[in-house]
A and B are shown apart, each in its own frame.
Chain A
């Protein structure tokens, strides 16, 4: 009887997360596609926010920098973890705080727009804005929870390399999909 030895060439957690991220990429591609076609078909005068409001382009650029820095810190934390596991805790915490800052600042902008009458039920741009940016915020919040769990496990000395790889992959997706959304929706 021949026994076939199985070798793990890619961690299962990474492969599973990549498949999940692939489906999420298609989800956002669908949203961006609908946005692009609707925008191209709408008259310029109709593609505005209620009350002549403008999307906060400059403030969101600052938030984008915070998110990008968080992504870089997660990458650095991965390198530190491979060199010496405990050395990555502070970097991972800093990355989580920066990511949380992004979500909080985005939420503050939302509240500002909402007060000026821009809601999910606003025609065209308003509705698309909340759906696309909101879907990204939900993903960012879920990834932040995962990062917090990773940090907690790291502090307790129970963080597995596979879990960290999965969390890193999810956060990279959140960070890398954002510029596409920002450029497409805000400009």
Chain B
């Protein structure tokens, strides 16, 4: 029973793979990649889209931790000792 199921899974996966294109296009405009200029733009925009959220999240974490430090510094000393 188990063997027949795994055979079906393998044969289904093999059928799907047989029809898989050699290159999967992740976005509609990737189809345009071909000319030199376009490839450069594609790579530059990929870097921008990877870095932008990291920079934004990193900036927000840094800013929040700085605000927390400043808020701690404003606490009266016994309160601060209790928190630390």
List residues of A whose CB falls within 8 A of some B CB. Answer: 7, 9-10, 18, 22, 25-26, 29-30, 32-34, 36-42
Contact = CB atoms under 8 A, between A and B. Distances in A.
Interface of B: 27-30, 32-35, 37-38, 40-42, 44-45, 48-49, 52-53, 56-57, 60, 64, 67-68, 70-71
Nearest to B29: A37
A9 B56 CA distance: 19
A9 B38 contact: no
Contacts of A26: 49, 52-53
B60 A29 contact: no
Tell me what chain A mostly uses at the interface: helix, strand, loop, or mixed: helix
Contacts of B34: 41
Given A26-B53, A41-B32, A33 B48 contact: yes
A44 to B, nearest CB: 11
Contacts, number: 58
A40 B35 CA distance: 8
Contact of B41 (A9, A10, A25, A36): A36
Contacts of A25: 52, 56
B45 A37 contact: yes
Contacts of A41: 29, 32-35, 37-38, 41
Contact of A10 (B37, B52, B53, B67): B67
